[in-house]
Amino acid sequence: MKVLVPVKRVIDYNVKIRVKADQTGVETANVKMSMNPFDEISVEEAIRMKEAGTASEVIAVSIGAQQSQETIRTALAMGADRGILVQTDEQVEPLAVAKILKVLVDRESPDLVIAGKQAIDDDSNQTGQMLAALLGWSQATFASEIELGDGSAQVTREIDGGLETIKVSLPAVVTVDLRLNEPRYASLPNIMKAKKKPIDMLTPEDVGVDISPRLATLKVVEPPKREAGVKVETVAELVDKLKNEAKVIGV
């Protein structure tokens, strides 16, 4: 079974995000970048499938600037077999990403696409669902456990009320949540081996997808700073402030 795993290069989750002075976006110059954390989990799950003998090949795919090769190399160092980079310096929206992935899926014919449920830069949580719709495949989102069977996958999903277990037929698109696994650290020997693994270079034109934006960002602002709280001496004073100042309780 072949598994395709999309990975995205984003600002590292440990970095304090700074908004640009003109409010057109966030600063990315001289900022540490890394693989989207949810994508690390999807790569780890695909590699575990390969180690268990249920997957024969893991392909890491990224869409973005030339530096996204580093993100693919990280996936290769973790254990993926080869990579594909669709190179563009333009910002690519979820629908365009899904369309590009559909073309690559048609070319590679994987049995399973495992993706992070969302990227931490835009928090769209759309690409996996859009890809499944374009392909006409089964889909399972927010996966915290995946068990592959004969031509199917049993997926435990995290929902508001707890957990839901569903069974989907393969081929399928599965998006993963945080509690699915703990991604491994790439060892130095594997990092060196990853440098020799192939990465196919493509462009949006090569796959015939128009990535023209359909959305326009009007303004990006930082969230308002929280005001300092106050201490009260008695319960009666607390109730009085909640009722008369905050007005969050009735008379």
CATH code of the domain covering residue 58: 3.40.50.620
Write down the pLDDT at residue 251.
59
Position 248 in a domain: no
Write out the residue range of the structural domain in which residue 147 sits: 2-222
Position 228 in a domain: no
**Reported pTM:** 0.85
Position 250 in a domain: no
pLDDT in tens, 27-72: 888 899 999 999 999 999 999 999 999 999 999 999 999 999 999 9
Distance CA(181)–CA(78), nearest Å, equals 14
Instruction: Look over the chain and give the mean of its residue pLDDT values, rounded to a whole number.
Output: 93
Distance CA(30)–CA(152), nearest Å, equals 45
pLDDT at 3 over 90: yes
Distance CA(135)–CA(113), nearest Å, equals 11
Q: Is 51 helix (H, G, I), strand (E, B) or coil?
A: helix
Position 161 in a domain: yes
The count of structural domains within the chain is 1
Q: Cβ distance 191 to 205 under 8 Å? A: no
For the segment 162-173, the average pLDDT, to the nearest whole number, is 95
Position 113 in a domain: yes
pLDDT at 92 over 80: yes
pLDDT at 5 over 90: yes
Write down the pLDDT at residue 141.
95
Mean pLDDT check: name the lowest of 25-34, 73-82, 195-204: 25-34
